[in-house]
Amino acid sequence: MTDLKTSARVQAAGAKRQRLMAAAAEVVHRQGVERTTIADIARAADVPVGNVYYYYKSKDELVAAALSEHARQLELLTGRLNQLPDPRERLKGLIEAWVSQRDLAARYGCPTGTLAAELDKRDEGGLDVEAGRVIRLLLKWVEHQFRELGQPEPGGLALTLVGAYQGMSLLANALRDPRIMDREGARLLAWIDSLVAA
C-alpha cells in the first residue's frame, strides 16, 4: 500500500514536472524567455506558482527544460520519418512537417530558432550552447539523409536546407504571412526532387 501510494505520488510528481516542461516550451515560444514569468508557466501548467520551485530550482532550469522538450519533439519527428525507406522521401517529409506548422511559424517563428536567437544574446548560463545543440541535432539528421542520397557535400546541403527553414520562418513571422511557408516549402520540395543521386 505504501508502495502504491509512493508510486502514485511519484507519477503525479513526474506528471507535474512534465506538464511544467511542456508549458515552458509553449509559453516561451509565444512570449519569449524574458517576457515569460514563472507565474505564466505555472498557470499554463496548472501548477501553483510557489510550487514550481520544488520541481525546477530556477527560471533557467525551466528554459533548459523547454529546450529539451523541443529536442524530444524533434526526435519524435525524425523517428517517424526514419520509417520511410527512401532518404529523399524522409527529407520531403521533414519539409512537409515544417509547412504544416505554417500558422504557428507565422505567428511566433520556429520554436527552436527563436529561442536560440534570444539565448545567444546572453553571456551567462550557457543555455545558448544548449540551444545550439538542438539545432545541431537537426543538422546532423538532415546531413545523414543527404549522405545516404549520395550527395557530395551533405554538410553544406544540410546547412542550406535548415538555413532556408529558419529564414522562411523568420520572414513569415516578421511579415505575418503564412503563405511564405507554402511558397518556400514548395521551392524546397522541388529542389530535393531535382537532386540527382550519385
The contact set with DNA (CB under 7 A) reads: 9-10, 12-13, 16, 36-39, 47-51, 53-54, 57-60
Listed ranges 15-23, 52-60, 109-117, 141-149: which one lies at the site for a second copy (CB under 8 A): 109-117
Among a second copy, DNA, none, residue 184 binds (CB under 5-8 Å by kind): a second copy
CA-wise closest residue to 110 among 119, 101, 122: 101
Q: How far is the CB of 179 from DNA (least distance, A)?
A: 34
137 near a second copy, judged by CB under 8 A = no
- Residue with Cβ nearer a second copy (154 or 167): 167
Chain position carrying cell 532556408? 164
Confirm or reject binding of residue 187 to a second copy (CB under 8 A).
Answer: yes
User: In Å, what is the CA distance from 113 to each residue of 24, 89, 122, 132, 154?
Assistant: 16, 24, 15, 9, 21
Residues at the site binding a second copy, with contacts judged by CB under 8 A: 30-32, 34-35, 107-109, 113-114, 116-118, 120-122, 128, 131-132, 135-136, 156, 159-160, 162-168, 170-171, 173-176, 180, 183-184, 187
